[in-house]
Structure 1
């Protein structure tokens, strides 16, 4: 193994630890689903996205998920990724009410249709986790 290979493997392993601390099966399935078509994309998501960016110390996991939910809502068309991150948000301790509040707040900036789409995704995840109806 070359030094480059060792650094590459170390970055991936560091990212995998962060991924494991945030995501359940849904997050890992995203990476696994890339193995037969775009394994390098899966590697970069783990090594760079989680190992280099998510692991940075200046934001807590809950804060990172709040930002991620807002961005995915604003982007629109990212419902599959939003589903994974709604689950991750619950995993790191955000409440369903906080998640819905992100979507309400996002509606001011990106519009009601995108916020409604995000709420539909949350409804699915909350339902799967037995969290409905919300108080």
Structure 2
């Protein structure tokens, strides 16, 4: 029994390491430096949370084939907007949305659409985060085609 649990732990550790490595690859593709900064910022306070974000969030959930990365980002933007108080996470995910091919116009349209479901104050807060990100990336003014 002791040998089985030791072997099981080794296999789980390998699987854990593999999930983390795969998740880190996905995180870098989607979030780039912004995502890595989030993980790095957790190193001295809660490294396990950082590990779970990478291994589970990106290694297992984000990389599922049923939704394209751009669709996942639209869902994420809507959820973070509706939750409110998630401006730092919105900044990361608005950058990610741009990284996976969404345009500023598509992002602002999604934020406008969210106003009907979660209210204008939350949609405004999210829009101002988008304005900051677009400005930093030289994408203002964001206009419809």
Once structures 1 and 2 are overlaid, which stretch shifts more, 13-22 or 38-47? 13-22
Give ranges in structure 2 of 5+ residues lacking alignment. Answer: 1-8
Offset of residue 15 of structure 1: 0.6
| Alignment-derived partner of residue 3 in structure 1 | 11
Give TM-score, length-normalised by structure 1.
0.98
Q: Distance in 2 between matches of 1:24 and 1:13?
A: 15
Residue 98 of structure 1 is matched in structure 2 by 106
Partner of 2:73: 65
Tell me which residue corresponds to 2:115.
Answer: 107
Q: Name the CA distance, whole Å, in 2 between partners of 1:39 and 1:24.
A: 19
- The number of residues matched between the two structures is 135
- CA shift, 1:4, in A, is 1.6
Correspondence for 2:93: 85
Matches within 5 A, 1:1-135: 2-135=10-143
* CA RMSD in angstroms, aligned pairs only: 0.9
Provide the rounded CA distance (Å) in 2 between the counterparts of 1:92 and 1:56. 15
Q: Tell me the alpha carbon deviations over residues 2-50 of structure 1, each in whole angstroms, 9 at most, x when there is no partner.
A: 2121111001011111111101211110000000110000000000000
Divergent runs of 4+, >4 A: none
Cα deviation 1:61-82 (Å, max 9, x = unaligned) = 0000000000000000000000
